[in-house]
A and B are shown apart, each in its own frame.
Chain A
Amino acid sequence: MAAVNAGRWLALCAGAAAAVLLGIHFIGSGFGPFPVEWNIGLRQPIDGFQSWVIGNRSTHPIFLFVFGPFSAFVDWGLRAAENILLWLPWPVTVWLFAALAWQVANWRITVVTVCGLLFMGLMGLWEQSMQTLALMVIAVSLSLLVSVPLGILAARHAHLQQILRPILDLMQTMPAFVYLIPVLLFFGVARVPSVVATMIYAIPPGIRLTELGLRQVSPPVVEAARAFGATRRQLLWHVQLPLALPAIMAGVNQTIMMALSIVIIAALIGAGGLGREVLVALQRLQVGRALEAGLAVVLLAIIMDRISDALANRQSEIYVAGANTGYAAKRPAWQRARIVVPLVAAVLLLAALVLGVQSFPEAARLPLYQPVDVAVGWMRDNLYRIGNSGWGTGPLSDLITIRMLDPLRALFAHGLAWPVQVALAVCAGAALSGFPLALQAGLGLFAIGMLGMWELAMDTVSQVVVAVAISIVLAVPLGIWAARSAWVDALLRPILDTLQTIPSFVFLVPVIMLFNVGRVPGVIASVLYALPPGIRLTTLGLRQVNDEVREAARAFGSSSWQLLTKVELPLALPSILLGINQVIMMALAMVVISGLVGGAGLGLEAVIGLAKGQTGRGIEAGLAIAILAIIPDRMLHAAAHRLQPPV
């Protein structure tokens, strides 16, 4: 109670301060841009450190005994995986994948898997796909090697969990982009940094879901095992882990999806494979080629998602259906598969080696890019401006730029003086949570200024704000509609599922087909990327409204509108706010990536830092991005928490 009052008081003070500052700003000479003298000059020491690292990489013990061996080990693993996958003749690889899909899932997923792999070959992307796959295999295995044991430990030791939680929160809040630069510094060039960056991003869900799975094991079951005298170790291996397996497998699925999404971004630091293919094609504006590679990424994502998802579901089905129906029934099939699968693989392998088949034949190349490029050309000519109607993607793009992006950027960068903005951030933090958040928000914004990133940050903020606003305007009504109509829900579900499996990077491809380069494609791609969680959490929030409460509202004669506005929406608001938070996080992650296709701001700065090896510059931009992600995340969580009615 006291904390809330103090927060309110502080919010009032900060609001008053903002008002006074605003007054000074408009009446007097005002404030200039963020003072250059206050730049803390992070860039020089970092660049100095970078030189030191480069100079000492082969001599200093920390590199010789920690980073060096680790890098060598990862690099060895990568090479091995890649060599095997590239050496295996493609029919063998397809056969093995098909057998896996058939075993863990159903014929439909098997067909998708086979078609997907063949598509990669036909697009002339077999090698790149295998490279990406190798990177995935190594990154995912290493991630699981860290995350599952940590998850087990966190489930058993409350202290560890308390230490881990904020770290995991932070890791998941920051756009993936931000990791790339420091990782690059410590793990050198080549592909090791991409593995490390992928691990940082993919480890949190593994830890979370392992821990969750273990905690969810029903206490009576654990008690029963204890009563029979099981030791802690026996308890873990015989009872807890088997029962937590569905959740752990869900964690594996999440780890794979996270890894795939960043493996593509990691192309920026030399990960090669499909990501590089998309990146290069995007930079050269070869939309057809980018689409081919993008489709290959999506197919890889769908294959891995469906197979690992089927694996997780099968685990839980075994428990639900009981050993008799699920597991035991599949036993004979397993036994047979154990013989048939390697046998066929061996035969295929021999045949392929004899015939000299290995990589996918060049002759079978299907030039999808040609019609796509023609289509893109046509769209540029015809959709950009549709006749003289004033419609088309060009005018839409202009509308977004001139009516939304430019005025907002002007407002944030110059219109509102920086002290006013800091005061407003403090005010919001205090009002939503209290002193700590107010302090964090104020200091965070101030730090962006001191990093010398104020203007660039405000450019990025204007893009994020526009993307988020459009996303919310679309997502909330769609979410409401889906909650009310089973029909709409059934229609939306597969679309959202697909959108959510696509790595962020790939969204840029179709968008630049229509919108050219600049800030707008980034905004549009952000909207597409961020819509699914916005819609999902709105629908979820509305669905969770207690039936009796809803019925009570109806019984008192509420109209449909009254039911929605007076009861359902207020009760769903915490969930909707979390959806908006997700929208912001995803839009921010995407807007940063859009630096690649001409979106200005922090993204471009980070890309330049990466591309030119200017680590200091890249890290400054990365820090600013991280701050921009953390502040709204904390605020919206605080808001959602406040609105949650106590149970």
Chain B
Amino acid sequence: MVDAMSIKSGLSPGADSEPKVVVRNLWKVFGPHAQRVLAALQSGDSKQQAALEGGHVVAVRDATFSVQPGEIFVIMGLSGSGKSTLVRCISRLIEPTGGYIAVGGAEVTAMDAAQLMQLRRHSLSMVFQHFGLFPHRTVLQNAAYGLEVQGVPLAQREARAREMLELVGLAGWADSRPQRLSGGMQQRVGLARALAVDPAVLLCDEPFSALDPLIRRDMQDELLRLQQMMHKTILFITHDFLEALKLGDRIAIMKDGRLVQVGTPEEIVSNPAGDYVREFTRDAPRAKVITARSLAQARAGVEAPAVAASTRLEELLQRMAAGETQLCVREEDGTLLGVVDQAAVLRALAGAAPR
């Protein structure tokens, strides 16, 4: 059933340029005979499969996706669905069992140990769920760690680390030990440490899951603020669907090691692929996610005030409440997409599929 599900590629910034991260047919099997299990799984021989899977965990099943430059790509799934494994395969902290991975055009799956080390030093950075800070180092030394292992001279790396600490609002804490900081501040150190090496790709494994809800919201805003300045390519893991909607340019939903749907928040909320995904979208803030673009119905000869295609449902609702019955939806360049009427707005709000 899941196999048949279409994996859509949504519109995102720079969709037509070369993808920054490419993952094709990635598999990860934990256990003593991983390769044999993989072969059995790929051949589809179900009887042999069942016999072999005992004692094995298939953490990632045939994952394929790509991430565009400057995009925040969120992988959302419940605990145990294989998110951490997937993201660790990209830097080969966990060795994939099969499949193809490329970062910035370089094939990660073909790299030897030395190339891999260079990749981790210069192109990939990671932020961890429990921060992963070094308790024996000061905040500054933590932030400078990535540069230190690269061999950057002390003065230079500390200057850069200070800059990063300032960026995340921790300028005054450089000489403290990380344990003395609150959780939110510790994760800011984690962010500063990751950004200090100026990586092309940032991998975040549930970075805000260990934080209190209010702090978590602050940190989400902080990440968006930083992203506006830095335009990194970010792979962001979360088990929180609302966080995924808020941060993601695109979201991949993962279940039992498989990507069951990949799309923009709007696509996923307005067109969930199957009951599993629909279950998540039930509490989604539709008014903030759905835009006029997906509501527009082609209808000729209607005279009505125009709105941009990116106008959110909540604003459309206000316009309707103010007395409009119909609105024309136009792209930024002026092309007419169609018309939105009150009925379409109400249907979208109620969670029914568009007609």
Q: Is chain B a partner of chain A in the same complex?
A: yes
Interface residues on B, range: 20 to 34
Chain-B contact segment, one of A236-244, A451-459, A545-553: A545-553
For this complex, 6 residue pairs linking A to B, each with C-beta atoms less than 8 Å apart, are A546-B132, A552-B132, A553-B134, A556-B120, A556-B193, A557-B117
What residues of A have a CB within 8 angstroms of the CB of B133 in the complex?
549, 552
For the complex, give the distance between the alpha carbons of A555 and B129 in Å: 14
| A382 at interface, CB cutoff 8 A | no
Interface residues of B in 93-145 (CB under 8 A from A): 93, 117-122, 124-126, 128-136, 145
Chain-A contact segment, one of B146-154, B261-269, B322-330: B146-154
What residues of B have a CB within 8 angstroms of the CB of A556 in the complex?
120-121, 125-126, 145-146, 149, 193, 197
Do residues A645 and B179 form an inter-chain contact, with CB atoms below 8 A? yes
14 more A-B contacts (CB under 8 A) besides A548-B129, A557-B150? A548-B131, A552-B132, A553-B145, A554-B120, A555-B93, A555-B125, A555-B132, A556-B125, A556-B146, A556-B149, A556-B197, A557-B119, A558-B149, A566-B149
Do residues A570 and B136 form an inter-chain contact, with CB atoms below 8 A? yes
What residues of A have a CB within 8 angstroms of the CB of B134 in the complex?
549, 552-553, 567, 571
In the complex, which of the residues B93, B179, B180 contacts A554, with contact meaning CB atoms closer than 8 Å? Answer: B93
| B91 at interface, CB cutoff 8 A | yes
- Which residues of A are in contact with B by a Cβ distance under 8 Å? 546, 548-549, 551-559, 562, 566-567, 570-571, 643, 645-647
Number of A-B contacts (CB under 8 A): 69
What residues of B have a CB within 8 angstroms of the CB of A553 in the complex?
134, 145
What residues of A have a CB within 8 angstroms of the CB of B118 in the complex?
557
Do residues A551 and B150 form an inter-chain contact, with CB atoms below 8 A? no
Do residues B197 and A548 form an inter-chain contact, with CB atoms below 8 A? no
For the complex, give the distance between the alpha carbons of A643 and B135 in Å: 10
For the complex, give the distance between the alpha carbons of A556 and B136 in Å: 17
A571 to B, closest residue via Cβ: B136
Closest 10 CB pairs of A and B: A557-B121, A552-B132, A557-B120, A645-B135, A555-B126, A548-B132, A556-B146, A570-B136, A557-B117, A558-B149
| B278 at interface, CB cutoff 8 A | no
B148 to A, closest residue via Cβ: A566
A563 to B, closest residue via Cβ: B149
Do residues A555 and B120 form an inter-chain contact, with CB atoms below 8 A? yes
What residues of B have a CB within 8 angstroms of the CB of A555 in the complex?
91, 93, 120, 124-126, 132, 203
What residues of B have a CB within 8 angstroms of the CB of A558 in the complex?
149
For the complex, give the distance between the alpha carbons of A646 and B180 in Å: 8
For the complex, give the distance between the alpha carbons of A570 and B134 in Å: 10
What residues of B have a CB within 8 angstroms of the CB of A549 in the complex?
132-135
What residues of A have a CB within 8 angstroms of the CB of B149 in the complex?
556-559, 562, 566
What residues of B have a CB within 8 angstroms of the CB of A562 in the complex?
149
What residues of B have a CB within 8 angstroms of the CB of A647 in the complex?
179
In the complex, which of the residues A551, A570, A645 contacts B128, with contact meaning CB atoms closer than 8 Å? Answer: A551
| B216 at interface, CB cutoff 8 A | no
A552 to B, closest residue via Cβ: B132
What residues of A have a CB within 8 angstroms of the CB of B203 in the complex?
555
Most buried by A among B133, B135, B145: B135
Give the distance to chain A from B91, nearest Cβ to Cβ, in Å: 6
What residues of A have a CB within 8 angstroms of the CB of B135 in the complex?
549, 571, 645
What residues of A have a CB within 8 angstroms of the CB of B126 in the complex?
552, 555-556
Do residues A548 and B148 form an inter-chain contact, with CB atoms below 8 A? no
Give the distance to chain A from B164, nearest Cβ to Cβ, in Å: 14
A567 to B, closest residue via Cβ: B134
For the complex, give the distance between the alpha carbons of A382 and B108 in Å: 59
Do residues B197 and A645 form an inter-chain contact, with CB atoms below 8 A? no
Give the distance to chain B from A643, nearest Cβ to Cβ, in Å: 8
What residues of B have a CB within 8 angstroms of the CB of A567 in the complex?
134
For the complex, give the distance between the alpha carbons of A283 and B240 in Å: 75
What residues of B have a CB within 8 angstroms of the CB of A557 in the complex?
117-122, 146, 149-150
| B177 at interface, CB cutoff 8 A | yes
For the complex, give the distance between the alpha carbons of A549 and B135 in Å: 9
A562 to B, closest residue via Cβ: B149
Give the distance to chain B from A547, nearest Cβ to Cβ, in Å: 9
Give the distance to chain B from A553, nearest Cβ to Cβ, in Å: 8
Do residues A551 and B136 form an inter-chain contact, with CB atoms below 8 A? no
Give the distance to chain B from A212, nearest Cβ to Cβ, in Å: 26
Do residues B93 and A551 form an inter-chain contact, with CB atoms below 8 A? yes
For the complex, give the distance between the alpha carbons of A567 and B148 in Å: 12
What residues of B have a CB within 8 angstroms of the CB of A571 in the complex?
134-136
In the complex, which of the residues B93, B128, B146, B177 contacts A646, with contact meaning CB atoms closer than 8 Å? Answer: B177
For the complex, give the distance between the alpha carbons of A643 and B117 in Å: 30
What residues of B have a CB within 8 angstroms of the CB of A559 in the complex?
117, 149
- With A548-B130, A557-B119 known as contacts, the answer to whether A646 contacts B136 (CB < 8 A) is no
Give the distance to chain B from A415, nearest Cβ to Cβ, in Å: 36
Give the distance to chain B from A567, nearest Cβ to Cβ, in Å: 6
What residues of B have a CB within 8 angstroms of the CB of A554 in the complex?
93, 120
For the complex, give the distance between the alpha carbons of A555 and B119 in Å: 10
For the complex, give the distance between the alpha carbons of A645 and B177 in Å: 9
For the complex, give the distance between the alpha carbons of A214 and B130 in Å: 33
What residues of A have a CB within 8 angstroms of the CB of B93 in the complex?
551, 554-555
B94 to A, closest residue via Cβ: A551
What residues of A have a CB within 8 angstroms of the CB of B136 in the complex?
570-571, 643, 645
What residues of A have a CB within 8 angstroms of the CB of B148 in the complex?
566
Give the distance to chain A from B132, nearest Cβ to Cβ, in Å: 3
What residues of A have a CB within 8 angstroms of the CB of B179 in the complex?
645-647
Give the distance to chain A from B123, nearest Cβ to Cβ, in Å: 9
For the complex, give the distance between the alpha carbons of A399 and B33 in Å: 52
For the complex, give the distance between the alpha carbons of A130 and B129 in Å: 61
Give the distance to chain A from B77, nearest Cβ to Cβ, in Å: 20
For the complex, give the distance between the alpha carbons of A559 and B193 in Å: 18
Give the distance to chain A from B213, nearest Cβ to Cβ, in Å: 22
